[in-house]
Amino acid sequence: MNTLVDTYVAVNRLQLHVRDWGGPANGHAPVLMLHGLASNARIWDWVAPLLAQSVRVVALDQRSHGLSQPPADFDFSFDAICSDIRDVISALGFERPALVGHSWGANAVVEFATRHPEALSGAVMVDGGMAPMSKRLTWEEAKSQLAPPRLAGTPLRRFREMVKGFTGELDSEALWQIILGNFEILPDDTIRPHLPFDSHMKILRALWEQNVEQLFSQVKCPALFLPCIPPQSAGEGEMQYLQSKREGAAQAQRLMPQARVEWLTDSIHDVPLQRPERVAALIGEFVNRL
């Protein structure tokens, strides 16, 4: 059984936190996992230990997320994110890992794969990295619809009740601890997001400006997309996003002949928490074939 180790790597004048799940050094590519916007490395807590049964696995808290430091210059551009990824790979001693990203992390995977094609054995995009935001939303719409809730100062007990309301049948103490990884608990028992509102909006702007479809033809490594088809109860916004993903999938398969698209049906955006066994199985199968 692998032992989880929480540690830090020093890159770009930052201390970035990683969750090292261990795993065998058996000739397969190691796996570096990236979370999404306003999330943290613990979103992989139910996927990573399954993967680590067969491959080496590390999950990263990206800058200003989880237990990682915020940048003094508030730079959240893809230039900065890709520099972090490159230097974390080097600090871990990984040779040509498979890079796995969820949501914003998936967009970072596509971006990194185009900038450093020699650095990766494979790329996995989990419900992200497929549909340019600017094709379905103006910046004003994106700011209005995708700005995070102002949770700073919320009493911890009240926030717990809020979480129960939106996690529904998935709610558990383990899930609560994963969600708490996004917040600092202050002495007065209120919460404060690790990622400040203004920093969140900077990342959102970088995502809006990125036309990920224009990058597809530059990705040369084997690639796996795992987009989600939401439950039938999903709202109008999610269904519009699904249509954008379908269009992006068609573009990806046209421009990336080495890519495979595996749709995850009846799945929420945070599918690593909903269907960890399925996600781990698909990623593991992909990595073991590299």
Model confidence pLDDT, tens digit, residues 263-283: 999 999 999 999 999 999 999
CB 244, CB 282: distance < 8 Å: no
Residue 193, in any domain of the structure: no
Where residue 105 falls among pLDDT bands split at 50, 70, 90? very high
Residue 58, in any domain of the structure: yes
Residue 211, in any domain of the structure: yes
Strand ranges, E, within 28-111: 31-34, 57-60, 98-102
Residue 124 sits in a domain whose CATH number is 3.40.50.1820
Residue-number span of the structural domain to which 282 is assigned? 5-135+199-288
CB 248, CB 216: distance < 8 Å: no
Where residue 169 falls among pLDDT bands split at 50, 70, 90? confident
Residue 229, in any domain of the structure: yes
- What's the mean pLDDT in 122-141? 96
Residue 70, in any domain of the structure: yes
CA atoms of 84 and 12, how far apart (whole Å): 7
Residue 73, in any domain of the structure: yes
Sign of the four-CA dihedral 196, 241, 239, 61: negative
Where residue 233 falls among pLDDT bands split at 50, 70, 90? low
Percent of the chain, pLDDT > 70?
A: 99
- What's the mean pLDDT in 39-54? 98
Sign of the four-CA dihedral 80, 219, 142, 269: negative
What the block records as the tokens of 48 is 């990573």
- What's the mean pLDDT in 222-238? 87
Residue 164, in any domain of the structure: no
Number of other CB atoms surrounding residue 184 within 10 Å: 12
Domain count of the fold of the chain: 1
**For residue 1, is pLDDT > 80?**
no
Q: Which pTM value belongs to this model?
A: 0.96
Residue 236, in any domain of the structure: yes
CB 118, CB 220: distance < 8 Å: no
CA atoms of 250 and 1, how far apart (whole Å): 41
